[in-house]
Each structure stands twice: as C-alpha cells, then as structure tokens.
Amino acid sequence: MKKVNYHTHTALCLHADGMETDYAREALSARLDVLGFSDHAPFPDNRFDLRMQYEQLDPYLQRVAGLRSRLAGRLDILAGLEIEYCPDMLPYYRTLCEKRNLDYLILGQHYFTDSSGALVNTFRCPPGADSSLVLEYARSVQEGLETGFFPVLAHPDVIFVNDLGWDENCEKATDIILRCARETKTVLELNANGVRRGKKQFSDGVRYPYPHPLFWKRVAKSGLPVLINSDCHNPSFLWDDAMLECYWLARQWNLCLTDHFRRS
C-alpha cells in the first residue's frame, strides 16, 4: 500500500495554518507517495463561513498545479476539494468536476438539509434533537452520493459528535450509508481529526466524537474499502500520532484499507 493522504486543508479556508508548500515539505519528510489537497470548497454565493472565498478558488487550483509540476517525480500532488452536498448545487458540482480540472471532490456533510428542507449544522444538533437526526443525516448523505460526484465520503460518522445515544436509528442510518457506498463505489474515510479531538464521555460510552466504534464495526462486517485521511489543518498534523492511532484502530476493527478511489 502506498503512503497517502488525500484530505489536506490550507490557510485559505480561514481556520487552518500553512500553505500548500508547507504541507508538501511535511509530506516529503514523512515520505508520503501521494499528497492530495481538499480544502473546504467555496460556493459561488459564499453561503457558509469559515472556508475559502469563491474568489480564491482559481488561485488555489493554480498554486496546487504549480506545486504538482515542481514536485513531479518526487511526490504525487492532487487537487481536490472537500464540499457539502446541497440539493440546489448540482450544476456547480458538474462544473467543478468537468471544467476546473479537479482530481476529486470529497463529500463532507458539515451542513445538511433535512426532510423538512431545513439546514442543519451537523456539529450542533438543534435543541430537542434525538437519534432520528442521524437518520436525516444518512438520507442526505445518500442523496449526495447518488449524484456520483463524490468518490470519497469524509468522516461518514461525523454526526456522532452529538450525544444522541446509539440505538436502532443509528444502526439503520449506518446501513443506509454503507448500502449506498457499496452501490456508488464510494470509499469511506476514517478521519484522524476526530481522534485529535480526544476521547470524551458520551451516553453510549467513552469514545472519540468520531470515529464511532459501533459505526466502524458495521463497516468491518460490510468489507467496504476504507481510506485513512489526516484532515490536517496544520502541517504538523499531516502524519501525527492521530494518524498512527487510526491505523491501529483499523487493525483492531479489521477494516479493509485502501490507498485509492475512483476518480469523479
């Protein structure tokens, strides 16, 4: 297996440190084979904050392309974006994939639209929410993956940052995501940034906010391919203890690791 990381942010997203050259320096010293950039994608209407501004998209892609040619033969550099699925943005995803020369889009549902049409911040469940929110999240992930624009699903279990308790809804939601990942040939990401947040007491046990062990036990049973990504927001996190912990967890949980995915 190659040594890879496809989930890398840069200072352009306004909540990370370091530019593409700083991450490349780290990747060379950690002897990575592939370094993929996937900064938080802008939307043309700049609808979400704390991310790249739309005006920065072209400069971002040019910087990554420049780095790619400078490092050719030493380190494979890829240009991607991490982006939310919003039902009204299909033409935009198509433009990104077809006209902007991107290598891939990673789906990261930091926000999702629920069945009533309301926008939910995945990290802050609305007051009074219960585990049915996990089902709402799963359905929005499913709708996103079915568009075919996203070959990788970032932190598929990110909804468990909320303390909703593990129950039948969570099992059902996990199965929706896994079934859909199988049908759309989407690779699931085991995300080291959840590990960096540290273990906490939740009502379903002491665990990382994500990865959630019960989610990944079902992934193991499914045999679906899993990609470990750093999701680094600082060059020093590119290949750190949280990454090593993810590789250790993957072994403990018997996950089927992969180092690649289909290109959109």
CB of 231 to Zn ion, least distance (A): 6
Q: Which is nearer to Zn ion, 53 or 73 (CB)?
A: 53
> Does the protein bind Zn ion through residue 108 (CB under 5 A)?
yes
CB of 235 to Zn ion, least distance (A): 14
Residue 67: phi and psi, rounded to 5, are: -65, -40
Using the rule CB under 5 A, give the single segment among 65-73, 103-111, 178-186, 212-220 that binds Zn ion.
Answer: 103-111
Q: Are 111 and 138 in contact (CB under 8 A)?
A: no
Using the rule CB under 5 A, give the single segment among 70-78, 108-116, 124-132, 243-251 that binds Zn ion.
Answer: 108-116
Q: How many residues bind Zn ion (CB under 5 A)?
A: 2
Q: Are 196 and 234 in contact (CB under 8 A)?
A: no
Instruction: Give the whole-angstrom CA distance, residue 162 versus residue 53.
Output: 28
Q: Are 35 and 232 in contact (CB under 8 A)?
A: no
Q: Which is nearer to Zn ion, 108 or 156 (CB)?
A: 108
Per-residue DSSP letter, 8: B
Alpha-helix runs per DSSP H in the chain: 20-29, 57-70, 90-99, 132-145, 168-184, 192-196, 213-222, 241-252
Q: Which is nearer to Zn ion, 12 or 154 (CB)?
A: 154
Q: Which is nearer to Zn ion, 78 or 99 (CB)?
A: 78
Which tokens is 91 given? Answer: 């033409």
Task: State the binding string over 47-86 for Zn ion (x if CB under 5 A, else -).
Answer: ----------------------------------------
Q: Which is nearer to Zn ion, 108 or 209 (CB)?
A: 108
Q: Which is nearer to Zn ion, 15 or 221 (CB)?
A: 15
From 107, 123, 110, select the one nearest 38 (Cα to Cα): 107
Span 146-185, contacts to Zn ion by CB under 5 A: 154
Instruction: Give the whole-angstrom CA distance, residue 239 versus residue 29.
Output: 10
Question: Where do contacts with Zn ion occur on this chain (CB under 5 A)?
Answer: 108, 154
